Amino acid sequence: MSSENLTFTIQGDSEGYITFECPFCGSEFKLQADDFQNEDEPFDEIFCPYCGLAKNKNEFLSSDVIEKAQALAYNYMVEEINKTFNKMKRSFNSSKSIIKMEFKPLKKVTTKELKDKDTTEVEFTCDCCERRVKVLYCVGKSKIFCPYCGVDL
């Protein structure tokens, strides 16, 4: 079975931050797109800045991102099915054929552009790895963990 890679972009807020969601506590936080995609310092896991628990970075994708990925995959599937059935229809409906075929193409779902808005979160920089995170200030610095190295800020 062949595999297909679908790519899409997410527009960060005015400072280039993207929203992520913790799979353990469900809270949202923002990470710098530059830090997250930095190929010089790769990482597999993220620590939630609120509860401090770690999981694979893909598990932290927000529900909007997952929804968009699913919609793109669905649209790709629809496109392929419609293409195949159109081809089949053409071969069935040739002048020599005694069987005729009709089919109603599947409709694609609409996908929205992902754009992060500026919110009330405050930027913190980790003393240990110098990477940045945006979290709600009311949490207090004693309760925030660095998403990359896990130490408390």
Partner 1 sequence: MNRVELRKLSLEFRRISSNFLNSVDDNADVNLSRFLKFINENELIKSFIEQKISGVEYDFKECFGFGVNGWASFNPPEDESCHIKALYDYLMFIHNDNNVNVERQAMRYCWSNRKINVIIQNFIDMAFKPLIDFINDQLSMEMIVLDEEDKTNGSNTFIQNIETVNGSANQQINGTINTYNTFENVEGILNTIDKLFMSLSEIKSICSDDKDDVKDDLEVVQEQLKLQSPKKKRLSKALEGIKRFVKEFSMELGVSLATTAINVTDWNFLIQQVEQFIEKL
Give the interface with partner 1 as residue ranges (CB under 8 A): 24, 45, 47, 51-56, 123, 125, 130, 132, 140, 142-143, 145, 150-152
Residue placing its CB nearer to partner 1 in the complex, 108 or 143: 143
CB of 125 to partner 1, least distance (A): 6
State how far the Cα of 71 lies from the Cα of 110, in Å rounded to an integer: 8
Nearer to partner 1 among residue 47 and residue 65 (C-beta): 47
**Cβ 1 to partner 1 shortest distance, Å:** 20
- C-beta closer to partner 1: residue 50 or 68: 50
Q: Which is nearer to partner 1, 55 or 108 (CB)?
A: 55
Q: In what order do the strands lie in the sheet with 132-135?
A: 17-21, 28-32, 132-135, 122-125
According to DSSP, the β-strands at 132-135 and 114-115 are unpaired
Residues 6 or more apart whose Cβ sits within 8 Å of residue 98: none
**In this structure, are residues 13 and 30 in contact, taking their beta carbons and an 8 Å threshold?**
yes
Q: Please, what is the minimum distance in Å from the beta carbon of residue 56 to partner 1?
A: 8
Cβ atoms of 121 and 134 closer than 8 Å: yes
Do 148 and 57 meet the contact criterion of CB atoms below 8 Å apart? no
Cβ at position 60, least distance to partner 1 in Å: 13
State the nearest-atom distance from the C-beta of 55 to partner 1, in Å.
6
Which of 68, 131 has the CB closer to partner 1?
131
* Alpha-carbon span 115 to 65, nearest angstrom: 10
